Structure 1
Amino acid sequence: MRFKNVFSIIGPSMVGPSSSHTAGAVRIGRVARQLLGSQPETAKMTLFGSFAETYWGHGTDLALTAGLMDYETDDQRIPQADVLAEEAGMTLEWVQGRGNGPHPNSVKIQLTGGGRTAEIVAASIGGGTIAVYSLNGFDVQITGEYPTLAVKHSDSQGVLANMTALLSRDGYNIGYMDVDRKGRSGDAMTVFELDSAPEETTIQAIRKLPHIKEVTMIDLTKRS
């Protein structure tokens, strides 16, 4: 129920035949690109379920590629996204996954670019709504409906308290928070879905907190 929104009722503004296979896929691609922080140089898409069976016919491949190019769901360039990505120097690989994904319309995206890597597991769950189940190997959930901070940090005492206190100090309300850790005192990731996008000064302040390793802003509410 957490993943339902107005798109589930009226559908998004979009280019393509299917909100699940195109609009949702565009949004998944944009999350992956924003997690990487730049235009990908290589992208490997492992498709599961209905995505794997029908992605050519429904344009899911074009939609995911368009998202990686940071296009919106209503961008008129979506039908040419594969050509435009190739012209931009992006190398794409499509793989049919084995077994079941977390949802019939799910995909694992692995990216490289700018000396960085990124990986997400996500699904298009209807009406353009998405569910992201994993970020860079951490099992956290986000919807893409709200500005989201993804923070990689050490699993150390006081880290969560410091982050939430800083966000509260700067006037940001946390609508949802999720944490995953690799082990006691190991690496962890916390995601914050916020009611409004934080200013860069707040993001930089979080980066300077003890035990913080990486802070990434994911914001599909901002037009590209």
Structure 2
Amino acid sequence: MSFISVFDVMGPNMIGPSSSHTAGAARIAFLAQKMITPPLKKVEFILYGSFARTYKGHGTDRALLGGIMGFSTDDMRIRNSFDIAREQGIDFSFTPNEAETDVHPNTVDIHMVNEQGQEMTVRGESLGGGKVRIVEINHVKVDFTGEYSAIIVIHQDTPGVVAYITRCLSERNINIAFMRLFRESKGTTAYTIVESDGHLPEDIVESIHRNTNIHDVMVVQM
């Protein structure tokens, strides 16, 4: 039996009106922007299910845009996120997709392009009460909630790489809460996600990146 606290029922501190459609949306975008080098130049939000139907009335659009600029769920600037994004020179768009129905009802794809031309697509689901789950990175299925600090390592699916990542973390006394590997198929691109209940040192990126089979390393600090 899962435990639900009174805080889950009431929801987080947030700019309303809905924990699922605003706080959850802001949280997904907040996590997404931590996975790409700033500053962002362009972002497209593709909305599914109830997100697609009600994103204007529930403020999902403002929340997503605020989150992508790094605003927390209770940041008053979310109300003016459209104007702030334009001031920052971010090109943004919202595209409802009601044709695809085999998804969680509160789902969004976030396609980001930074000023260096790097592109990344993140899919997130808003689960209610402000809780979220990231379920895809660049169309590879993953699963993490953002409740812990995380290291996301994109690498070649080659023997010894996961052991190398673990050794790097052990040398820095990083406590591993969860560690999972996701991949497109055997021998192709893989994503190792390590969640820790402690602070992650920023220089861990450089340490892990020394392996030639590592393509990219991202730290999502909570």
With the shorter chain as reference, the TM-score category is over 0.9
Note the residue ranges of structure 2 that are not aligned, 5 or more in a row: none
Distance apart, 1:149 and its partner CA: 0.9
Structure 1 residue 106 and structure 2 residue 107: aligned? yes
Q: What is the CA–CA distance in structure 2 between the aligned matches of 1:81 and 1:116, rounded to whole Å?
A: 23
Q: Which has the larger displacement, 3-12 or 62-71?
A: 3-12
CA RMSD for the aligned pairs?
1.9
Note the residue ranges of structure 1 that are not aligned, 5 or more in a row: none
Asked whether the 8 Å contact 1:7–1:129 carries over to 2, the reply is no
Render the CA deviation track for 1:96-138: whole Å, top value 9, x for unaligned: 1121253111101101012211111111100100011011222
* Structure 1 counterpart SS, 2:112: strand
Q: Which has the larger displacement, 55-64 or 192-201?
A: 192-201
Structure 1 residue 78 and structure 2 residue 78: aligned? yes
Residue 142 of structure 1: aligned partner:
144
Structure 1 residue 35 and structure 2 residue 35: aligned? yes
The residue correspondences of 1:130-209 to structure 2 (distance < 5 A) are 130-209=132-211
Structure 1 residues 43 and 11: alpha-carbon distance in aligned structure 2, compared to 1, 3 A threshold: same
Q: What's the % identity of the aligned pairs? A: 37
Residue 55 of structure 1: aligned partner:
55
* Structure 2 counterpart SS, 1:96: strand
Q: What is the CA–CA distance in structure 2 between the aligned matches of 1:29 and 1:48, rounded to whole Å?
A: 15
Q: Which has the larger displacement, 150-159 or 169-178?
A: 169-178
Could you tell me which amino acid in structure 2 is paired with residue 213 of structure 1?
H
Structure 1 residue 128 and structure 2 residue 130: aligned? yes
Could you tell me which amino acid in structure 1 is paired with residue 197 of structure 2?
D
Could you tell me which amino acid in structure 1 is paired with residue 112 of structure 2?
L
* 1:213 paired residue among 194, 212, 215: 215
* Structure 2 counterpart SS, 1:141: strand
Asked whether the 8 Å contact 1:45–1:109 carries over to 2, the reply is yes
Asked whether the 8 Å contact 2:202–2:219 carries over to 1, the reply is no
Distance apart, 1:2 and its partner CA: 8.8
* Structure 2 counterpart SS, 1:16: coil
Asked whether the 8 Å contact 1:32–1:109 carries over to 2, the reply is yes
TM-score (norm 2): 0.92
Render the CA deviation track for 1:191-211: whole Å, top value 9, x for unaligned: 111111321232211111241
Could you tell me which amino acid in structure 2 is paired with residue 188 of structure 1?
A
Q: What is the CA–CA distance in structure 1 between the aligned matches of 2:3 and 2:43, rounded to whole Å?
A: 26
Report the number of matched residues. 220
Q: What is the CA–CA distance in structure 1 between the aligned matches of 2:128 and 2:23, rounded to whole Å?
A: 9
Residue 92 of structure 2: aligned partner:
92
Distance apart, 1:70 and its partner CA: 0.5
Residue 26 of structure 2: aligned partner:
26
Q: What is the CA–CA distance in structure 1 between the aligned matches of 2:205 and 2:6, rounded to whole Å?
A: 29
